[in-house]
Structure 1
């Protein structure tokens, strides 16, 4: 029941391509003093955060283990919530940087980059699953043709949200793509909302608006909650948006603060102190809390307040990794192996792990199932990255870089 990687390594890929033409990084256009519109750190805070890539690797590993051995990590699906927050953070800071640098946001360019980064690999997965359904008798891929159509249109979460009882076979072969639907629907709407408030309000009001938007899904979940609405709440973009917006809030807050602002020092200090407790609490949930099961009162709490609490913990981690690269947690997560996997393979791992789980189950594999899942998933993710994702990512980077607005071209 779990996503990831934006698209969760997926959004960060735009950091390498947003200001790049033909693979060559360009320096940001000179910015006039007024051009920052109250976001003095927006352009400077666009560098890749290696520790966030490592966090992606950790999150996708939890998802894989959860789907293979749910008794070991009954709450492993919480890693998807972490992915949401990372994605909201990365996407928002890219949009803010573009707005400050160029005086606007090219929505068509943004959507094009997202399509090239996410859709080709997803279509390849859908094609393979549909082919297995039509040419084999593997029960794990029954109904894959319909599921593939819903996944390719990013509608899996919509169908699952409308099912009040057990999930039907309509989406089951590609059930994990529900989170891709949530993220893509958020990516479709959030740039429009952000651009609207950026053009009409001061930076402080933009921050307050983002914070207010974070609270709305919680109120909406409280209105909707009853046991029969569990699928609706779990899969709905409107009911999960606070987890993406929590990351967006961190991006807006940090873009507003100069490097010498004492408030930034305060955030750096407290996010560092709270990072390990936040990670420990998320790990405890993954280890002990079956978040997708009916546990009575606990389920009601989780499906209302719990999602926002996880978003707050995830946002604390994101802020700490951004502001404290020298800290032990950041250095561990930024080690080359986890950072490289998170940056390049986490999306492919997320895409392929669930079909691999169903393939091995259909073949009756029991002994060494987790190891077999990991090996086969990594192979498919590597193939996806080098044969599909990387070539299309190169196309996303190549293109005409829009000239900066005249007001931004002169200091």
Structure 2
């Protein structure tokens, strides 16, 4: 038996709870504070978990007793509303910020791929494939990292309407609510166990995957059903002081990262209690229903989208300083208000094309159009929008092959490795232009084929590609970041294969030592001076130093592997660039106020060129 509701707008209005929007405002503000400065509110990222609980509660509420003719009508209506809610604001955000990041980042590939996958609700899976550490500073330079949570929600929305309908809840059958509660409850327990287990052994999977986040949105669903079916539960939770619950949530957000698992579970549970306990007459209800607070909640989706983009671009340009924060806050709220007023609201409430299938097709077309723009920025326009000095064009080229061939009888230098090959591309070109060598720089991860394949692909891919061209007197030069030696999938075995096959031909093998890593810069800072990043805007950390003994101690595993490999292969020539860059007790990432490293471990092109004579002399001596 179904319940007929004549006025669908009245039905939606009756379901609306303004205090929920107030809670959204609280959640998004904690996230923004954390993203400005993690030290102020270490657990502010838990605001995303509050959003997940709210999403599960609100979605279930919106589908409760909603009239639907059949499954087709139900599912098409659901996805029409989701498309109107999510796609327009996201598409505009991705379109605009993709162009901006290409202006300031000479190698925006990672950001563009994250943005591209976010359009299809897959950025969380892309970031997971990259083994991304959400809490590393380096993620702050990826302009679309925060879209992972949208990916989790969108994947949840694929599964959830089927649970709603086939449990009978969407059809308003007698046992529909009970069936949904039992089904979602079982999945919730499974998901929570998976989250707790994986967080200890594979944090990226626990953090980014939908199955290990399902329990958070599902708890909101269970809360709604419980409040509808058991008045006693609501009466009990209403007795809990909401201000106390709110205070506990805030207190948890000040806990250190070592408590991340416990903090997540606690905040999710307390968020459900807070939703249930906020009743008229309480101080919390009065605060969260304040029109200004509610308005911040209403624009929370646009705020969430734009705040990260603006902060990320700020880090690529002038940085984030005490004097810049007011302007950045104003820009965040200004863009969010504009997005809410001119994009989100009119397109969500408007009747796009009358029929639902046309709306769904139009939404898909919008996604494909923006995706095409990102592909264009990443391929035909690669590097052409960058408005800074071409300070490291070799780093810009390290994703495609570079060949300088003068004469097939000349020896060929093959430069392989990771992004650190960008240090020496200009040096090798300098040598090749003397017409004494040919030069080939192997592409690193062109397209998607080499993504997350580890150290072995840096070694085996060029072996497969060039082995028929190798000849006596050719030179292989390998360069990689120190972490690659620690985390590579048995790189010594793969590298040994390469060495054996090439040395049998009579080729020479050079291994360039890793550069020092300034851990305080750890990816969150860009030190290269540009017109849009003047010296006074560069972080003071870019002018620091590193004690050599501490670097060796922290990298003893990787250094040990390198030493073992060199002992086993005594014919390999080791180019000790590290000692040249750090001749004294301390490694300095500056010299007389001149920046030497553009980030934590990549040299500026000017500094790399200073190594030209050393490397040239070394090659000739061998």
The normalised TM-score by structure 2 is 0.51
* Residue 354 of structure 1: how far off its partner (Å): 0.5
Residues 397 and 51 of structure 1: CA distance in aligned 2, closer, same or farther (over 3 Å): farther
Q: 2:206 aligns with which of 233, 249, 265?
A: 233
Task: Give 1:319 shift.
Answer: 1.2
1:180 equivalent in structure 2: 150
Q: CA deviation at 1:56?
A: 0.8
How far did 1:361 drift? 2.1
Matching residue of 1:379: 334
Q: How does 1:100-139 map to 2 (within 5 A)?
A: 106-134=74-102, 136-138=103-105
Q: Return the alpha-carbon distance in structure 2 between the equivalents of residues 241 and 151 of structure 1.
A: 19
Measure, in 1, the Cα distance between the counterparts of 2:121 and 2:52: 16
Flag the 1:315–1:390 CA change in 2: closer, same or farther, 3 A: same
Q: Determine the C-alpha separation between the residues in 2 that align with 1:166 and 1:235.
A: 10
Q: CA deviation at 1:98?
A: 1.0
Q: Higher mean Cα deviation, 76-85 or 369-378?
A: 369-378
Matches within 5 A, 1:143-292: 143-164=110-131, 166=133, 172-198=142-168, 201-227=175-201, 229-257=202-230, 261=231, 263=232, 266-290=233-257
Q: How far, CA to CA, are the matches of 1:165 and 1:115 in structure 2? A: 28
Shift, 1:127, TM fit:
0.8
Q: Are 2:314 and 1:360 aligned?
A: yes
The structure carrying a bigger strand percent of its residues is 2
Distance 1:158 1:385 in 2: 27
After superposition, the C-alpha distances for 1:199-251 in whole angstroms (9 at most, x for unaligned) are 68453343233322221112223443434x10110111100111101110111
State the shift of 1:25 in Å.
5.8
Secondary structure of the residue that 1:273 maps to in structure 2? coil
The C-alpha deviation readout for 1:51-75, integer Å capped at 9, x for no partner, is 1111111111111110011110111
1:14: which partner in 2?
none
Q: What does residue 313 of structure 1 align with? A: 270
Q: Are the counterparts in 1 of residues 15 and 62 from structure 2 also a CA contact under 8 Å? A: no
Match of 1:337 in 2: 292
Mapped partners of 2:90, 2:285: distance in 1: 31
Aligned residues: 343
CA deviations 1:355-400 (Å, max 9, x no partner) are 1112222222423333222110111011111221122112259857
Alpha-carbon distance in structure 1 between the residues aligned to 2:66 and 2:98: 39
2:56–2:217 contact (8 Å) kept in structure 1: yes
Who is 1:325 aligned against?
280
Q: SS at the partner of 1:287? A: coil
How far is 1:151 from its partner?
1.4
Distance in structure 2 (CA, Å) of the matches to 1:56 and 1:141:
32
Q: Counterparts of 2:254 and 2:282 in 1: how far apart (Å)? A: 25
Which has the larger share of helix? Answer: 1
Q: From the superposition, tell whether residues 46 and 246 of structure 1 become closer, same or farther in structure 2 (CA, over 3 Å).
A: farther
Contact preservation (8 Å) 1:150, 1:156? yes
Counterpart Cα distance in 2 of 1:177 and 1:207? 29
Decide whether the 8 Å contact of 2:141 with 2:312 is kept in 1.
Answer: no
What is residue 68 of structure 1 aligned with on the other side?
Answer: 36
Cα distance change of structure 1 residues 165 and 85 upon mapping to structure 2, 3 Å threshold: closer
- Contact kept? 1:147, 1:156, Cα under 8 Å: yes
**Please, what is the CA RMSD of the aligned residues?**
2.9
Report the Cα offset of residue 103 of structure 1.
7.5
Cα contact 1:84–1:244 (8 A) shared by 2? yes
Structure 1 segment 75-90 matched on structure 2, within 5 A: 75-90=43-58
Question: Structure 1: which 5+ runs fail to align?
Answer: 1-18, 29-42, 402-411
Q: Distance in 2 between matches of 1:175 and 1:318?
A: 28
CA distance in 1, matches of 2:140, 2:303: 23
* CA contact 2:142–2:312 (8 Å) conserved in 1: no
Larger Rg: 2
Closer, same or farther: CA 205–189 of 1 in aligned 2, 3 Å: closer
Normalised to the residue count of structure 1, the TM-score between the two structures is: 0.75
Q: Are residues 64 and 349 of structure 1, via their aligned partners in 2, closer, same or farther at CA, if it must alter by over 3 Å?
A: same
Query: Is 1:390 the equivalent of 2:390?
Result: no
Q: CA deviation at 1:285?
A: 1.9
User: How far apart in 2 are the matches of 1:359 and 1:279?
Assistant: 33
Q: Provide the rounded CA distance (Å) in 1 between the counterparts of 2:199 and 2:37.
A: 29
Higher-RCO chain (CA-CA 8 Å, sequence separation at least 6): 1
